[in-house]
Structure formats: structure tokens, C-alpha cells
């Protein structure tokens, strides 16, 4: 008897430990479908507090996004008195499916907690004049417009939108029986197992701090494309997802991201360990760098992926016609790739935002395989060779140089730049924090936004004001990816702003306000030009004839 009691005690401890350690279910996540391809959670209170901390009122911030002459514009005063609990995070989800039977169906939803159901109903009636409030299964609903229907209980408010497919029927005037209303019924009545709350990765994401959380279902996103062989790709990406957070801080916007791979893809990636990027591919650039992208990986992973997808035979068949195999292409390159660019020194293009000098460096792996690939392309006249240079086709005229010397295939804006890059006598220097951020990373992307704007001029008063505002707002962007372990890869992103003392949301709000003003000014200028082009007296004669 004692032994039996001991066994029951152990089981009880295990159950208690499991239920204690399991992360609590976020209430609103119960109303998000499990197969959503994209989910966003927004901490509205944190964001409003950060805006207010910079001396900008929420009303003035909200007015930036309103059209001044739109009598139907929704104002912040209406929103804050709508009965929605703005102190709690709100959810947004979207998904899209494609099938031969139903065609393309896009659906989305906005989910928030209800603070006052009576206020909410009054608010919705005001926003949808003449529409009837109907009762569905366990909820009320009202049609707002087209395929948009709002539903609510005493606790939860959902705006539902569904377009396409055979279910987009029903009573168009009331919304009853339409796909958007049917989705409301599903969301309000679904069990936890059918919701995003059942996904452990989603719960893990919400346990991290952030103003905004995002989640993407990789396989669900793939369902939107009707491409032959995509079903096999779905199995490769099964259980794969990405998640992360976004924070608005003083002087910068920071984001973190994690990509998690399912078993099928992880089994392939584990065979090819991540590698660190070679920073010398960047530092050899002989000019001030405006931006770069760099990555290091084992290209042989592509062979395994093609084989899993069942398209390796087809790929080899195509490559054979060119005189080489898929393996030759993969072995030709080491997997170390870098693209670096700077503002053009050519006086004819230096004021053009598209005028840039650049180099693309693709390191050669197996020289014999590389030569075989290049020879095949030349024999098929896809390339023409002249010494150590190549050109596309036989005519060239593409405005860039292709060279292969040493251990790399180099594509650049000019031969002089490529030669200086290869010599390495003059080397670029990166800001210390950017250089440090590249250590032990597998990928990186950097753009010196401010330097690009400072070296670019745009004709016209509107363009000058827009460019001036951009110069005083944005500094640079850096994004990096860690070396993955086959199962997960982590990354971080940071957009730095010029004003390091103001919250980044406030800086963005001011920038958007300036852009809106520019748009309004341009429309007024166009209207004035049009009116000036009308011959004098024509308006009067038109009016008198009426």
C-alpha cells in the first residue's frame, strides 16, 4: 500500500511540476487560428507611453494618419472612447490559401480586449450608420463595409475580413452568412488546440519583452504560391517558423529574430555547419563604404535541398545542356559572398541617387569546376571572354565589368575599382561599433543611410525638404545573423536615428508628418497648375451655361 501511495505521490508531483512550468495561455491568442501565416501583437500602452514621453500627444500622432478632408476619418478621441481596452496588447493575424477548388482566399483579423461592451456597440453603430446589430453564436456582430465584419462579446472584440473563395456569399447588406461572419463564428468558438495558443513557439515568443511581437509560419506562407512541386517544399518546411520582437528606444529601433527549423530541414542543415563571414572581403574596398551585404555558407547544402525537393534530376538536365552539372556550379564557389557599394565618383552621376560604385565578390571554391562552368557559358554565348574579363552575351553594353583573377569572380562598376580592390593598398574603415557587430556572424547587411542622403541632391523644393528631413532623421541600419546550430538561427537588426535623445517613434512620427505635408503640397501645386492652364473666362462661361 505504501508503494502504491509513493507512486501516486510521484505522479502528482510530476503533474504539478508540469502545470506550474507550462507558460500561461495569453487570452487573446485563443482567438487566433493555429494556421495563421502571420501574427502581430502590439503593446499599445507601451507605445503610447513612449510617444507621450517625447512630448507628442497621442491625438497629434493619430492625426498624422488621418486624411484631413475625409469626413469619415476616424479620430483618436473616437478610438479612446470606443470601449476597447487600450491598456492591453492587441493582436493582428493574416493568412492566405490557394487551391484549385476554392481559388485564392485571403483572411485577416484584428483582436482586442473589451473594456465596455455598451460603449463598443454604440461606437460601432456610429461608425456604420444604418447597419443592423445581429447575434451570432455566442457573439454580436455588425457589418462595417464590404467584407469587413466586427464581432464582440463582453470580453473580446474581433474585426474579421475574408475575401475570395466559394464562401464569400451570404447576405451582403447585413453580413450574415458571409465568409467574414463565418470566420467570426470559428474564432469565437474554437478550442485552444485549434488556436495559435497551442503552438509552443508562439508562447515562447510572448515571454520575451518587446513593444511588438511577430510570428510567421513558414509552411503556411508557402501555401499561398501555386507552384509545381510546392507540396514537397511544404514537407521540408513543416514545423518551421520565425518569431521576434521590435522595440522603439531613444535614438534607435531594435529588433530580434529567430528562425526555427522543423526536423526535415534541420537534418539537412546540421550536415553543413554555419561559418563566420570574412570581414577582409569588406575592408579591401578602396573607398568610403555606403553599404554592404555579406554571407558565408556551404553551398553544398543546395544539392541536398534540391534532392529532397525531387528537382535535382531536372536541374541537372538543364545544366547538362550548358556543358556542366549542378554539382559543378555548387563546387565552383566557396559560399563566401560580399557586395559593397559607395557613392559614385563620376561627376555625371554623383548627384543621382542611383549613381553608385560597387563590387560583388564571389569567392571561387574548386577552380576546375569554376573553369568548367565559365567555359560552358562562353560556349553557349551567354558570356564572351576577353582576357580576364567577361561580358554578357556578345554585345556587352551592360555598364559593369566581370572579371576573374586570383581566387574570386568579381563584378564591379569599373575595372579601375576592381583592380584597386584586388591590390588592397587602400582599405575602407568601418565605424568601430559596426565592425564589432560583424564578429562571428554568418550574414550581415549594413547601410549608411545618412551618408547616402548627404551625398545626394534632389531637384525641386519639395524634394529638397524631403531629403533634408531624411538627413536629419535617419543615421544607419545594421542587421546580422548568428551562426546557426541547424535547428535555430538568431538575428538582430537596428535602425539608428540622428536624434539619440528622442524616442524613435516620435522621430518617425515627425518624419511621416513632413512626408504627409509634402504630399498635400504636391497635390495643391498640381491643382493650381491645372487651374492656371484653363483659359481665362472658361470657368465663368461653363458656370453661366449651366
pLDDT single digits (tens) 282-302: 999 999 999 999 999 999 999
The SS3 assignment for 145 reads strand
Q: What is the DSSP string of 310-345?
A: T-HHHHHHHHHHHTS-HHHHHHHEEEEEEEEEEE--
Label residue 16 by pLDDT band (50, 70, 90): very low
CB atoms within 10 A of CB 278: 16
Contact 158, 150 (CB under 8 A): yes
Q: Which helix (H) or strand (E) holds 505?
A: helix 504-533
pLDDT tens profile 433-455: 999 999 999 999 999 998 888 76
84, 269, 47: which is closest to 158 by C-alpha?
84
Q: 295 pairs with which residues across the strands? A: 337, 443
Is the pLDDT score of 533 beyond 70? no
Q: What is the distance between the alpha carbons of residues 485 and 130, in angstroms, rounded to a whole number?
A: 58
Label residue 171 by pLDDT band (50, 70, 90): confident
514, 508, 472, 512: which is closest to 253 by C-alpha?
508
- Phi and psi at residue 211, in whole multiples of 5°? -70, -35
Contact 43, 211 (CB under 8 A): yes
Q: What is the distance between the alpha carbons of residues 269 and 476, in angstroms, rounded to a whole number?
A: 32
Distance separating the N- and C-terminal Cα atoms of the chain: 104
Q: What is the mean pLDDT of residues 26-39?
A: 93
Higher per-residue pLDDT: 330 or 428: 330
348, 364, 476: which is closest to 413 by C-alpha?
348
Q: What is the distance between the alpha carbons of residues 308 and 304, in angstroms, rounded to a whole number?
A: 6
User: Residue 61 has which C-alpha cell?
Assistant: 500622432
Angle between helices 461-471 and 504-533 (to 10 degrees): 180
477, 443, 490, 480: which is closest to 339 by C-alpha?
443
**CA distances from residue 259 to 95, 182, 294, 383, 511 in whole angstroms, order as listed:** 19, 33, 19, 38, 32
Q: What is the distance between the alpha carbons of residues 497 and 457, in angstroms, rounded to a whole number?
A: 20
Q: What is the mean pLDDT of residues 463-481?
A: 85
Q: What is the distance between the alpha carbons of residues 395 and 403, in angstroms, rounded to a whole number?
A: 16
CB atoms within 10 A of CB 122: 14
Report the pLDDT value the prediction gives residue 525, as an integer from 0 to 100.
63
Exposed / middle / buried, residue 107 (Cβ in 10 Å: 0-12, 13-18, 19+): buried
Lowest mean pLDDT among 190-194, 224-228, 269-273, 493-497: 224-228
Looking at 107-245, list the stretches that DSSP marks H as alpha helix, in order from N- to C-terminal side. 117-127, 179-189, 200-206, 218-222, 230-236
Report the pLDDT value the prediction gives residue 361, as an integer from 0 to 100.
97
- Phi and psi at residue 201, in whole multiples of 5°? -60, -35
Torsion of CA 226, 257, 89, 497, to 10 degrees: -110
Three-state SS annotation for 111-136: EEEECCHHHHHHHHHHHCCCCCCEEC
User: Residue 233 has which C-alpha cell?
Assistant: 517544399
Lowest mean pLDDT among 99-108, 113-122, 152-161: 99-108
Label residue 252 by pLDDT band (50, 70, 90): very high
Q: What is the distance between the alpha carbons of residues 385 and 394, in angstroms, rounded to a whole number?
A: 9
- Cα-trace Rg, the chain: 29
136, 129, 113: which is closest to 72 by C-alpha?
129
Report the pLDDT value the prediction gives residue 15, as an integer from 0 to 100.
45
Contact 406, 363 (CB under 8 A): no
Contact 279, 250 (CB under 8 A): no
Amino acid at each position: 500500500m505504501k508503494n502504491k501511495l509513493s507512486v501516486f505521490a510521484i505522479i502528482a508531483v510530476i503533474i504539478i511540476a508540469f502545470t506550474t512550468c507550462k507558460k500561461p495561455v495569453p487570452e487573446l491568442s485563443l482567438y487566433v487560428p493555429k494556421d495563421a501565416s502571420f501574427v502581430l501583437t502590439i503593446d499599445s500602452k507601451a507605445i503610447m507611453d513612449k510617444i507621450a514621453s517625447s512630448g507628442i500627444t497621442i491625438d497629434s500622432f493619430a492625426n498624422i494618419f488621418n486624411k484631413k478632408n475625409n469626413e469619415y476619418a476616424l479620430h483618436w478621441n473616437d478610438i479612446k472612447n470606443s470601449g476597447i481596452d487600450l491598456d492591453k496588447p492587441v493582436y493582428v493575424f493574416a493568412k492566405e490559401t490557394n487551391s484549385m477548388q476554392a481559388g485564392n482566399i485571403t483572411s485577416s483579423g484584428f483582436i482586442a480586449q473589451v473594456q465596455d461592451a455598451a460603449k463598443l456597440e454604440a461606437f460601432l453603430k456610429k461608425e456604420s450608420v444604418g447597419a443592423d446589430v445581429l447575434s451570432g453564436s455566442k457573439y454580436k456582430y455588425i457589418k462595417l463595409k464590404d467584407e469587413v465584419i466586427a464581432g464582440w462579446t463582453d470580453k473580446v472584440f474581433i474585426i474579421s475580413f475574408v475575401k475570395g473563395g466559394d464562401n464569400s456569399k451570404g447576405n451582403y447588406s447585413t453580413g450574415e452568412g458571409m465568409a467574414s461572419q463565418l470566420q467570426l463564428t470559428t474564432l469565437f468558438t474554437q478550442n485552444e488546440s485549434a488556436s495559435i495558443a497551442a503552438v509552443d513557439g508562439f508562447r515562447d515568443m510572448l515571454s520575451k519583452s518587446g513593444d511588438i511581437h511577430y510570428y510567421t509560419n513558414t509552411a503556411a506562407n508557402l501555401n499561398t504560391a501555386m507552384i509545381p512541386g510546392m507540396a514537397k517544399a511544404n514537407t521540408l518546411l513543416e514545423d518551421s517558423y520565425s518569431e521576434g520582437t521590435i522595440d522603439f528606444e531613444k535614438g534607435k529601433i531594435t529588433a530580434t529574430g529567430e528562425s526555427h527549423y522543423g526536423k526535415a530541414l534541420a537534418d539537412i542543415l546540421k550536415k553543413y555547419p554555419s561559418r563566420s563571414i570574412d570581414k577582409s572581403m569588406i575592408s579591401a574596398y578602396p573607398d568610403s563604404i555606403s553599404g554592404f551585404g555579406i554571407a558565408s555558407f556551404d553551398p553544398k547544402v543546395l544539392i541536398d535541398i534540391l534532392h529532397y525537393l525531387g528537382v535535382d534530376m531536372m536541374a541537372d538536365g538543364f545544366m547538362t545542356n550548358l556543358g556542366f552539372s549542378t554539382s559543378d556550379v555548387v563546387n565552383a564557389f566557396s559560399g563566401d559572398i560580399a557586395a559593397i557599394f559607395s557613392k559614385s565618383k563620376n561627376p555625371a552621376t554623383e548627384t543621382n541617387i542611383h549613381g553608385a560604385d560597387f563590387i560583388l565578390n564571389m569567392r571561387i571554391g574548386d577552380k576546375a569546376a569554376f573553369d568548367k562552368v565559365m567555359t560552358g557559358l562562353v560556349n553557349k554565348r551567354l558570356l564572351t571572354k576577353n582576357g580576364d574579363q567577361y561580358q554578357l552575351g556578345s554585345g556587352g553594353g551592360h555598364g559593369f565589368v566581370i572579371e576573374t583573377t586570383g581566387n574570386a569572380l568579381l563584378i564591379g562598376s569599373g575595372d579601375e575599382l576592381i583592380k584597386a580592390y584586388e591590390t588592397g593598398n587602400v582599405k575602407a574603415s568601418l565605424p568601430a561599433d559596426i565592425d564589432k557587430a560583424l564578429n562571428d556572424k554568418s550574414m550581415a547587411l549594413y547601410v549608411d543611410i545618412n551618408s547616402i542622403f548627404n551625398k545626394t541632391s534632389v531637384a525641386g523644393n519639395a524634394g529638397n525638404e524631403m531629403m533634408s528631413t531624411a538627413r536629419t532623421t535617419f543615421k544607419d541600419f545594421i542587421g546580422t545573423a548568428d551562426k546557426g546550430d541547424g535547428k535555430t538561427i538568431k538575428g538582430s537588426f537596428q535602425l539608428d536615428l540622428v536624434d539619440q535623445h528622442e524616442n524613435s517613434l516620435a522621430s518617425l512620427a515627425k518624419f511621416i508628418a513632413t512626408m504627409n505635408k509634402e504630399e498635400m503640397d504636391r497635390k495643391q501645386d498640381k491643382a493650381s497648375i491645372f487651374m492656371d492652364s484653363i483659359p481665362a473666362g472658361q470657368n465663368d462661361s461653363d458656370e453661366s451655361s449651366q
